[in-house]
């Protein structure tokens, strides 16, 4: 169903990034300058694992920005079920009524993690927690801006890129050029699939603005999240080193073997495969996370 960009996408969105420093995540408000319609991409619901506290500081800042600019929120979009932060999609939907969406392959991620969490049969793995599931090549609009969905798996089974006019939101495929590419070793991840997804992104026009999902500030520099296709092709540290699929897979897999699991993967997935909603409260009104023991490899003390 991929259209390989037969008709060019209209528009140049106004993009505002919000950097969440605890997890190095970037959240975006993408707006159509003509109609003032906007979408939020990858919003963060605050969570402190040490105290178990949750908050909506990040999401409220995004809502305040939308109000200040006089925008109308049309979409709440996630690129994939995140492993390092809770999605604020559920909260933003409750506050604004705007529809939520994610890629259709989220159902595969739901099935995988439903098994890991040993959730009951009654938990639906049909993506019904979102208002819309996007297929590869599908198009929709934010105001007068054309948006095309590109299926770009590798980091997860379900990862998608949103191409909005001359901008692409590439989530955890490419970081800034000095940081290389995203890991591909989570359950359902694949370095081979990631290489192919990166090639699809690199086939976009050279001046396409690329907005990444994370920045870990190598060398302590200021956080950055915007590059272009041309710049990534010339400068991305992994793409410059690994020119072929074989070289890339070897480099990515060797690097992934050295990385610890994200601090919040077991906390976050149970929220994020429910559409960014916290677990239902128990009889006395408190909510609980359920952490499976010995479910993942990558212990701090090595294999």
Q: How confident is the model at residue 301 (pLDDT cuts 50, 70, 90)?
A: confident
pTM above 0.85, yes or no: yes
Q: How confident is the model at residue 300 (pLDDT cuts 50, 70, 90)?
A: confident
Quote the percentage of the chain above a pLDDT of 90: 92
User: Selecting from 3.30.43.10, 3.90.650.10, 3.60.15.10, 2.40.50.140, what CATH number does the domain 14-270 have?
Assistant: 3.60.15.10
Quote the percentage of the chain above a pLDDT of 70: 97
pLDDT of residue 1: 44
Query: Coil, strand, or helix at residue 92?
Result: helix
Q: How confident is the model at residue 274 (pLDDT cuts 50, 70, 90)?
A: very high
Q: Could you report the per-residue pLDDT of 181-210, keeping only the tens digit for each?
A: 999 999 899 999 999 999 999 999 999 999
Residue 26 has pLDDT above 70, yes or no: yes
- From the list 176, 175, 173, the residue with the least C-alpha distance to 184 is 173
Distance of CA 4 to the CA centre of its chain: 22
* Sequential DSSP letters for 30-71: EE-TTT-EEEEES-EEEEETTTTEEE-HHHHHHHHHHHHHT-
């Amino acid at each position: 169903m991929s259209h390989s960009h037969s008709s060019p996408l209209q528009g140049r969105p106004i993009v505002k990034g919000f950097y969440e420093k605890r997890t190095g995540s970037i959240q975006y408000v993408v707006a159509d300058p003509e109609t003032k319609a906007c979408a939020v991409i990858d919003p963060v619901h605050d969570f402190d694992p040490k105290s178990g506290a949750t908050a909506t500081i990040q999401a409220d800042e995004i809502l305040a920005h939308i109000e200040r600019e006089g925008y109308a929120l049309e979409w709440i979009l996630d690129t994939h079920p995140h492993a390092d932060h809770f999605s604020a999609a559920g909260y933003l939907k409750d506050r604004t009524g705007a529809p939520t969406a994610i890629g259709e392959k989220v159902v595969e991620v739901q099935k995988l993690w439903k098994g890991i969490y040993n959730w009951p049969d009654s938990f639906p793995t049909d993506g019904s927690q979102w208002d819309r599931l996007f297929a590869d090549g599908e198009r929709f609009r934010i105001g007068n801006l054309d948006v095309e969905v590109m299926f770009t798996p590798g980091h997860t089974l379900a990862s998608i890129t949103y191409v909005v006019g001359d901008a692409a939101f590439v989530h955890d495929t490419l970081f800034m050029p000095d940081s290389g590419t995203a890991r591909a070793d989570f359950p359902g991840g694949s370095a081979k699939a990631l290489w192919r997804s990166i090639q699809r992104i690199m086939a976009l026009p050279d001046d396409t603005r690329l907005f990444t999902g994370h920045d870990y500030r190598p060398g302590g520099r200021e956080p950055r999240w915007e590059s272009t296709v041309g710049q990534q092709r010339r400068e991305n540290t992994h793409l410059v080193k690994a020119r072929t699929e074989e070289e890339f897979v070897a480099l990515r897999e060797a690097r992934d073997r050295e990385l610890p699991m994200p601090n919040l993967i077991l906390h976050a997935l149970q929220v994020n495969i429910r559409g960014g909603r916290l677990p239902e409260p128990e009889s006395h009104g408190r909510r609980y996370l359920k952490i499976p023991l010995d479910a993942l490899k990558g212990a701090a003390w090595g294999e």
